[in-house]
Chains A and B, each alone.
Chain A
Amino acid sequence: MRRLAPMLLAALAVMVAACEKKTQPAPSGEGGTQAAQGQGAAPGGAPADANTILLGQVGSLTGGQATFGISTRNGIELALKEANAAGGVKGKKLSIRVYDNQSKPEEAAQAATRLITQDKVALILGDVASSNSLAMAEKAQAAGVPMITPSSTNPTVTEKGDYIFRVCFIDPFQGFVMAKFARENLKLNTVAVLQDNKSAYSIGLADVFRRKFTEMGGKVTAVESYSQGDTDYRAQLTAIRKSQPEGIYVPGYYSEVGIIARQAREVGLKVPLMGGDGWDSEKLFELGGSAIEGSYFSNHYSPDNPDPRVQKFIADYKAAYGAVPDALAALGYDSARVAVGALERAKDLSGPSVRDAIAQTKDFPGVAGTVTLDAQRNAVKSAVVLKVEDGKTQYVTTINP
């Protein structure tokens, strides 16, 4: 009997090791070719062989924002699969190594360092959450490795330096979009704000929203805050209720927003909630239930868009992953395609030439809008406003910059 215990522990250790492998160093194979799979299993991250171009992704595959990272990974995978089917880049196949950052900035920084120093990737994609991208951008900029974030909207991310790009719009724009929508479309006069004080993204959206909404003649009745990972928001919501707003701006992530919606209804707040692209996840409807119905959020793309390019992407994505792609999958897909386009145009695969090629991206037909990068390396594009209805999103309007 005494021997049983160590055996069990050993089994547990093996199990844990196995899951590590699943979520961490294993690259998600491109197109499922044998070469890439075999290379992926190599310990310690051997550098890419001469016939493949290795890209890196850092994403939140576990932790509070897990669906973000997984959707992004799927989108990137799909784009690379297509690029490889079309013959790859410069006669070479593309392969990607994916690391999990557990939704934590410090893990993201480590993973980025690993991609740069050990795996020697040509380019880094990631992450969704701005706090994580900021941590990664520092490393990428210092090492001179280009990085494209698919969906980090905080302005400071690309301010880290000339190697950092994004294929989405920035927070001030999202705050502006919602302020405009609340004032002009919903005709609200008073709004309360509930922001996540641990997230640069949430604070960024909330600040611009407040400024714009007041500029447009509205009144912000209360500003309350919570911290990522909280699960009880009743104290803040009670205070908001006392200020009697006609709407509440909650620019947080779906994992918290769903619960906030339930508790808002519970403390007697019946007014619509509004938010940003951090809401975009199937999980929002499960967590929010009927409480989230009738709420609005700004987003990068709507699956209702009839554009054949978008519909083809949705069909391909459905076939591969059995779900309708959210905006993060679409932006992941776009970021990988912008990367592929740049690698094709680049003179060679060195950091500076790839950087210059990305910077020249103009009128790139992405599924989440046309990508043109401005001098600050940000994409300039319009945003859509979606309404939650019957457990799914409904396209309401498009708001241009």
Chain B
Amino acid sequence: MAQLLQHLINGLAAGTIYALVALGYTMVYGVLKLINFAHGDVMMVGVYMGYATAFALGRDMRSSLLGVAVVFAVAMLGCALLGFFIERFAYRPLREKPRLTALITAIGISFALSYGFQLDIGFLPGAAPRAFPEVIEPVEWLVIGDRDVVVWNWQVISFGIAVALMVGLQYLVFRTRFGQAMRAVSWDHRVAALMGIPTDRVIALTFMLSSALAAGAGLLYAIKDTSVSPLMGLYVGLKAFVAAVIGGIGHVQGAVVGGLVLGLVEEFVVGYAASTWRDAVAFGFLILVLLVKPGGLFGRVAAEKV
């Protein structure tokens, strides 16, 4: 029972992070019908930005509240900028081209980032994984029994940050003018443009927002697993993409639920079966969901010409 509770806590911690990354996929897909395969790698770049900032701040500064805020702010703003450039120069020129073209470009950007960051020249970090500095000094907040269940401060903080980011996003999408514009563009960007909505700006902002979210999620992931490597984006990105599809891609709540479900499924598989089964079960679960409910748990099925 205690073990179950511990796995539940661990699974939720992992799941919220998947959910945050999945939100980025879902937002961009919702607005552009583009699966932004570079999303995970933008996240990785964000983690390296946070890594560099944390080092620049020094040991004492980075574990203070202000330090944590600075690390997150730099990484998220930096990634927003990266997202802007990627959208402006890689996706916008292809927007009226067949959708496959943009998808291929996204895969190209993904590889350019993940392999580019393995170079060991100048500011690039090299291929080997690195230890992520302890931005949040680990403290046990809750210990039940003989350490049968342990809740760490970073788990709670990371859960809190993730929920805050999700609530903020929900508010933005459904309660603000910008969100309204986003949903309008998502409905039909040509008609939205006719109605006077600056579609280019809305799409650029969506990209920036999703990239900033990715950076935030990436930092939480790096804090959780205490390491950062150039290939982490491919791995986490793929998992988050699966989470987005399970929930119904393009659906905000779906992404959150998909992320949590995937995080829990993985944790239980590793905890009660074997880690070698994890990916097989995660992707098997994806296939199962798509067979039973092709649009994902929350999505609607829309006939689409591919």
Contacts and interface: CB of A to CB of B under 8 A. Distances in A.
Given A225-B275, A287-B129, A287-B227, 12 more contacts: A16-B116, A19-B115, A22-B119, A22-B121, A62-B127, A226-B275, A227-B279, A235-B10, A238-B7, A255-B129, A258-B131, A289-B131
A66 B126 contact: yes
Interface stretch (A136-144, A262-270, A353-361): A262-270
Interface string A138-169: 00000000000000000000000000000000
Contacts of A5: 88-90, 92-93
A239 interface: yes
B39 interface: no
Could you tell me the dominant secondary structure of chain A's interface residues? helix
A268 to B, nearest CB: 5
Contacts of A231: 225, 227, 232
A236 B275 contact: yes
Contacts of B88: 5
Given A19-B115, A266-B138, A268-B150, A67 B128 contact: yes
B270 A267 contact: no
A286 B131 contact: yes
16 contacts: A16-B112, A16-B115, A19-B116, A198-B276, A227-B276, A229-B231, A230-B275, A232-B270, A235-B10, A236-B275, A259-B225, A259-B227, A266-B138, A267-B150, A283-B128, A283-B129
A369 B5 CA distance: 51
B222 to A, nearest CB: 9
Nearest to B126: A66
Interface stretch (A7-15, A90-98, A116-124, A177-185): A7-15
Interface residues of A, number: 48
B224 interface: yes
B147 to A, nearest CB: 5
Interface string A215-239: 0000000000111011110111011
B276 A197 contact: yes
B278 interface: yes
Interface of B: 3, 6-7, 10, 14, 88-90, 92-93, 112, 115-116, 118-119, 121, 126-131, 138, 147, 150, 152, 224-227, 229, 231-232, 235, 267, 270-271, 274-276, 278-279
Nearest to B88: A5
A234 B10 contact: yes
Interface of A: 2, 4-6, 8-9, 12, 15-16, 19, 22-23, 61-64, 66-67, 197-198, 225-227, 229-232, 234-236, 238-239, 241-242, 255, 258-259, 262-263, 266-268, 281, 283, 286-289
A66 B129 CA distance: 9
Pairs A-B, 8 closest by C-beta atoms: A66-B127, A231-B225, A235-B271, A235-B270, A62-B127, A5-B93, A62-B118, A268-B147
Contacts of B279: 227
Contact of B128 (A19, A23, A255, A259): A255
Contacts of B127: 61-64, 66
Contacts of B231: 63-64, 229
A267 B127 CA distance: 28
A19 to B, nearest CB: 5
B275 A197 contact: yes
Contact of A4 (B89, B126, B271): B89
B118 A241 contact: no
Contacts of A61: 127
B152 to A, nearest CB: 7
A193 to B, nearest CB: 13
Contact of A64 (B129, B131, B271, B276): B129
A238 B6 contact: yes
